[in-house]
Structure 1
Amino acid sequence: MPTLIYAHFLAHIRLYLTLFIITLLILAPTLPKVPHGEHLTHIQAKDFITAQTRNTPTTYYEGRQGPTGFEYELMHQFAEYLGVSLNLNAKHHPESVLSAVREQGDFGAAALPLLPDASDVHYTRPIIQMQPLLVYRRGLHGIKAPSDLVGLEIGTLSQAGTSEALRELQRDYADLSWKESHELDVDELLVQVESGVLDAAVIFDHQFRLNRLFFPNVERGFLMGDPLSMVWALPRGRGLGLLEAANDFLQTLQENGTLDHLVNRYFGHDDYLEYVGTRTFLTHLDARLPQFADLFKQAARDTGFDWKLLAAVGYQESHWDAEAVSPTGVRGVMMLTHPTASEMGVDNRRDAAQSIDGGARYLRSLKDRLPESITGDDRLYMAMAAYNVGLGHLYDARKITEELGGDPNRWQDVREALPLLQQQEWHSQTRHGYARGGEPVIYVRNIRRYYEMLEYVEHSRQQFFQLGQTATGGSLLLPFELIPPLDQ
């Protein structure tokens, strides 16, 4: 009897299981599903994709020729790859980028590190490797090993990935401590190191290479931990179509060399604003300037500038190289952007005559467009700064100058405000946002130095001729031993 009861029980179980499976099969088509490409389909239907990003030099900012930045170029190309336009939401720090991706979409691109604990977002394939780097204030001696960091005031950015290297180090040095901030950015962190608020900071190597010239009192220390992968983030739960499209796009750029080209453009050149020493300058003066001197003199006659000033601008821009192409795509002796060249009627930026003429007229137009309240050398220096960073950012700096109680018509005051455009506290209040504000300060300073050397050479040459002598070899120069050093 027990056997019959058990068999009867099993029969009922089989019946119930069969009915349950049949029910599932019947109801399955009506259960909600996430289509494989729902997110991608939605983006294509609205005809634009929104990137949650940051206003920083390595990601996105308004540059000399409009929107620029390493990830901006990738984002822009990705939008074209999808056949839609690009919409940017750039008022973020790393932590808020991920929150915006989760809550709003469509994807996040802001030097995001691949971290294992973000299970509520999808990450793309790696874009580039980011190596954590310890930097410290000049004057602190003996910062050569991790053990030297104990007791120092160290800062880093939260959610940027750099704190991972510090946590790994803390396993061996329990007394190691640091501060994390989600409100600062890399530039502001370096300001704190330079000013003494912090002794050291951990950032990424490529970030320091982009910013080192603006912070001469910050020294490169040593690499820390393993490299991290820069990735993009996408929301979960909306299908895999957009993720697959992003991965296909990034893989294509990696395979065809475009990604390496962009990396080299943005992170492979960190010496654009370096001041070239006297001997190097004089070598170029002898070898290169003679072929352009008459063009600079003609442009000076047409625009009212001193030809030596135009030559100094040309040297800062290209080292008098008609074939020069900058990391951001400007080209020619005067490094004109494509929009500027079009505005000035220049159809071949590599033609030295057109480039020098167009650059001189553009500098004249900038000087003429400045407010009449700016006069004398101040007007010239601000025009040169605008040639480098754009009028919009210059006006933003003048506004900050006023807020700080300075005179917006004096270059000496405005040059103090320009670097503040690199700090989120200040650029968030401006019309044109982030700018590498330290760059036009160095740019104008370098041009003034090159101009001083050209002035000295011409003056000394005239004296030599008055004495019935000629410059060595018939060149434009005196022997460089006679030129006083201007490198300091």
Structure 2
Amino acid sequence: MKQTLNGLLFLIIFSLFGIQCSFLKEDRSKENHWENPVPIDLEEIVNRGFIRAVVDNSSVSYYIYRGRRMGYEFEMLRNLANNLGIKLHLIVTPDIGEAFKLLNTGKADIIAMNLEITEERRVFANFTKPMGQISTVLVQRKSNNMVKDYPELQGKEIHIRKDAVYRDQLTSLQELYEIDLNIIEDDEDAENLVNRVVKGEIELTILDKENALVNATYFDNLDVDLEISPNSDVAWAVRKNSPNLENAINEWILKRKKSGYFNMIYAKYFQNPKNSYFRNNSPFSSLSGNTISPYDDLIKKGSETLGWDWRLLASLVYKESGFDTTATSYAGAVGLLQLMPVTLERFGVDNPNDPIQSLMGGVNYLKYLDKFWLERIPESNERIKVILASYNIGHGHVEDAWRLAIKYGGNPQSWESIAHFLKLKSNPDYYRDPVVKSGFAKGHLAVNYVADVMILYDSYRVLINP
């Protein structure tokens, strides 16, 4: 009996130890993602055709305003991607720790979150040349009991963004002035914390000075005078094993600084607080509302007819007209969905400037295209991209690419394969092929068009609730 109990006890201890070891190994593998970052550098990124950057949904970084993608970091990232000749894909998260994990596991290539360069962060990634400098300030409501000097922070509760450098800055103040603080790290972006201060839900937070000054211009009850830390360099982060990407970004930074581009973007977002106020507080901004355009209800109704996510249809409308009912293209396309005269007549649109007629005419055309491709491409996600290309260039040209995919051993049910042959329709070896009925086409423009709509849809899907 004793032997049995000893054996059982051994098994229990062994099992617990084994489980503990497995947890430790799992935790260690999760924690040490930076020790063996995925080997992806500039060449792989260019061959892939797009670069992935981590941003957060804030007026400094990235947001949607009236359907348009905006933000200080976003505009610079877009310029960099254009300079590299590739597309820009964005990943939105307020979690800085998660951003470093995304970087080192190969799910992102750049962290563009206005990061202060610190020795602790250098363990996780390399930093580019400085993009600029920032200082940090205390954000509080104006009152007779405001904190005006560091000793007055004694016993205060300060909410800060998780994984930000603000904890270290506050810890230094505690040691220097021998005060006690209750520092609470929240899983929220800085601007949400500011809004909570404004509403009186929390008393204090910390924010970058430039962003704090913008907020103070449109929230009269905010005080941002007490500096927590002086100016320090901020930069983007890249994987340690991506030297070519790092060098390319550094070259781009030097050139853009010399050209005055950085100063221009800085002025746009930080030196015109009135514009910032309207962008940040508009119901058509992802920072304060959940509306893309004045035509959202109409777009939602049209998307129900199509069976699409309404944000996808909104992406198409923005790509076509920027939500301008009077928009007219050089080719004569008009209205929200830029229909040509022959299409207007076919789908019963009498007044293309009427948003209801224009949008529903476009929706009916999209329904026709969906029916045209349904049996050939049953998978809806693949078919949607083919429909978008057909909407842009005409389904005859896309059908040619579909036939070429069949003839040359491609996958005629895959957008990637159809897109490959669509781009080849500017090559006489292909547009003169006997299976081609519609002749020459600048197919690469249609492929880029689909990519643009889908990238915008990804942004709407992340920042705008369904």
Q: Are the aligned partners of 1:53 and 1:59 in contact in 2 as well (CA < 8 Å)?
A: yes
Are residue 242 (structure 1) and residue 245 (structure 2) matched? yes
Deviation at 1:213, TM superposition (A): 5.0
Deviation at 1:71, TM superposition (A): 0.4
Which residue does the alignment assign to 1:116?
Answer: 119
Deviation at 1:126, TM superposition (A): 0.7
Deviation at 1:340, TM superposition (A): 4.3
Alpha-carbon distance change, 434 to 69 in structure 1, aligned in 2, over 3 angstroms: farther
Which residue does the alignment assign to 1:138?
Answer: 142
Work out the CA distance in 2 between the residues paired with 1:338 and 1:115.
44
Residue deviations 1:178-211 (CA, integer Å, cap 9, x gap)? 4242411112211332233322211111222333
| Larger Rg over CA atoms | 1
Work out the CA distance in 2 between the residues paired with 1:273 and 1:101.
30
Which residue does the alignment assign to 2:262?
Answer: 259
Alpha-carbon distance change, 65 to 251 in structure 1, aligned in 2, over 3 angstroms: farther
The within-5 A match list for 1:355-370 is none
**Correspondent of 2:326 among 332, 344, 350:** 344
Which residue does the alignment assign to 2:374?
Answer: none
The within-5 A match list for 1:146-157 is 146-157=150-161
Deviation at 1:251, TM superposition (A): 1.0
The within-5 A match list for 1:136-285 is 136-213=140-217, 215-238=219-242, 240-272=243-275
Name the aligned partner's letter for residue 272 of structure 1: N
Work out the CA distance in 1 between the residues paired with 2:262 and 2:213.
19
Q: Are the aligned partners of 1:56 and 1:434 in contact in 2 as well (CA < 8 Å)?
A: no
Work out the CA distance in 1 between the residues paired with 2:247 and 2:200.
46
Name the aligned partner's letter for residue 189 of structure 2: D
Which residue does the alignment assign to 1:84?
Answer: 86
- The two structures have a TM-score, normalised by structure 2, of 0.51
Work out the CA distance in 1 between the residues paired with 2:324 and 2:354.
16
Which residue does the alignment assign to 2:52?
Answer: 50
Work out the CA distance in 1 between the residues paired with 2:187 and 2:158.
16
Alpha-carbon distance change, 217 to 341 in structure 1, aligned in 2, over 3 angstroms: same
Alpha-carbon distance change, 273 to 172 in structure 1, aligned in 2, over 3 angstroms: closer
Work out the CA distance in 2 between the residues paired with 1:429 and 1:80.
18
Q: Are the aligned partners of 1:150 and 1:173 in contact in 2 as well (CA < 8 Å)?
A: no
Q: Are the aligned partners of 1:144 and 1:222 in contact in 2 as well (CA < 8 Å)?
A: yes
Are residue 103 (structure 1) and residue 133 (structure 2) matched? no
Alpha-carbon distance change, 69 to 50 in structure 1, aligned in 2, over 3 angstroms: same
Q: Are the aligned partners of 2:103 and 2:238 in contact in 1 as well (CA < 8 Å)?
A: yes
**Correspondent of 2:463 among 427, 430, 433:** 433
3-state SS of paired residue (2:273): coil
Work out the CA distance in 2 between the residues paired with 1:102 and 1:84.
21
Name the aligned partner's letter for residue 142 of structure 2: R
**Correspondent of 2:63 among 43, 61, 69:** 61
Deviation at 1:43, TM superposition (A): 0.6
3-state SS of paired residue (1:197): coil
Name the aligned partner's letter for residue 224 of structure 1: I
Alpha-carbon distance change, 432 to 121 in structure 1, aligned in 2, over 3 angstroms: closer
Q: Are the aligned partners of 1:194 and 1:217 in contact in 2 as well (CA < 8 Å)?
A: yes
3-state SS of paired residue (1:272): helix
Are residue 94 (structure 1) and residue 96 (structure 2) matched? yes
Name the aligned partner's letter for residue 95 of structure 1: G
Which residue does the alignment assign to 2:370?
Answer: none
Q: Are the aligned partners of 2:151 and 2:179 in contact in 1 as well (CA < 8 Å)?
A: no
Work out the CA distance in 1 between the residues paired with 2:55 and 2:206.
21
Deviation at 1:162, TM superposition (A): 2.5
Work out the CA distance in 2 between the residues paired with 1:175 and 1:59.
33
Deviation at 1:166, TM superposition (A): 1.4
Work out the CA distance in 1 between the residues paired with 2:184 and 2:202.
12
Deviation at 1:136, TM superposition (A): 1.0
Deviation at 1:229, TM superposition (A): 2.1
Name the aligned partner's letter for residue 68 of structure 2: G
Work out the CA distance in 2 between the residues paired with 1:341 and 1:431.
18
Q: Are the aligned partners of 2:214 and 2:276 in contact in 1 as well (CA < 8 Å)?
A: no
Work out the CA distance in 1 between the residues paired with 2:459 and 2:320.
29
Work out the CA distance in 2 between the residues paired with 1:142 and 1:433.
35
Q: Are the aligned partners of 1:151 and 1:176 in contact in 2 as well (CA < 8 Å)?
A: yes
Identity of aligned residues (%): 20
The within-5 A match list for 1:364-379 is none
Which residue does the alignment assign to 1:125?
Answer: 129
3-state SS of paired residue (1:88): strand
Q: Are the aligned partners of 2:53 and 2:109 in contact in 1 as well (CA < 8 Å)?
A: yes
Work out the CA distance in 1 between the residues paired with 2:142 and 2:109.
42
Name the aligned partner's letter for residue 78 of structure 1: L
Residue deviations 1:413-453 (CA, integer Å, cap 9, x gap)? xxxxxxxxxxxxxxx99846169xxxxxxxxxxxxxxxxxx
* Unmatched tracts of structure 1, length 5 or more: 1-33, 276-336, 348-362, 370-427, 436-488
Q: Are the aligned partners of 1:136 and 1:221 in contact in 2 as well (CA < 8 Å)?
A: no
The within-5 A match list for 1:16-31 is none
Which residue does the alignment assign to 2:419?
Answer: none
Work out the CA distance in 2 between the residues paired with 1:59 and 1:429.
13
Alpha-carbon distance change, 42 to 197 in structure 1, aligned in 2, over 3 angstroms: same
3-state SS of paired residue (1:175): coil
Deviation at 1:38, TM superposition (A): 6.1
Work out the CA distance in 2 between the residues paired with 1:223 and 1:92.
23
Name the aligned partner's letter for residue 92 of structure 2: A
Deviation at 1:137, TM superposition (A): 1.9
Name the aligned partner's letter for residue 115 of structure 1: T
* Unmatched tracts of structure 2, length 5 or more: 1-35, 279-318, 330-352, 360-457
Q: Are the aligned partners of 2:157 and 2:184 in contact in 1 as well (CA < 8 Å)?
A: no
The within-5 A match list for 1:404-443 is 431=461, 433=463
Work out the CA distance in 1 between the residues paired with 2:79 and 2:62.
14
Deviation at 1:57, TM superposition (A): 1.6
Work out the CA distance in 2 between the residues paired with 1:92 and 1:52.
9
Alpha-carbon distance change, 94 to 214 in structure 1, aligned in 2, over 3 angstroms: farther
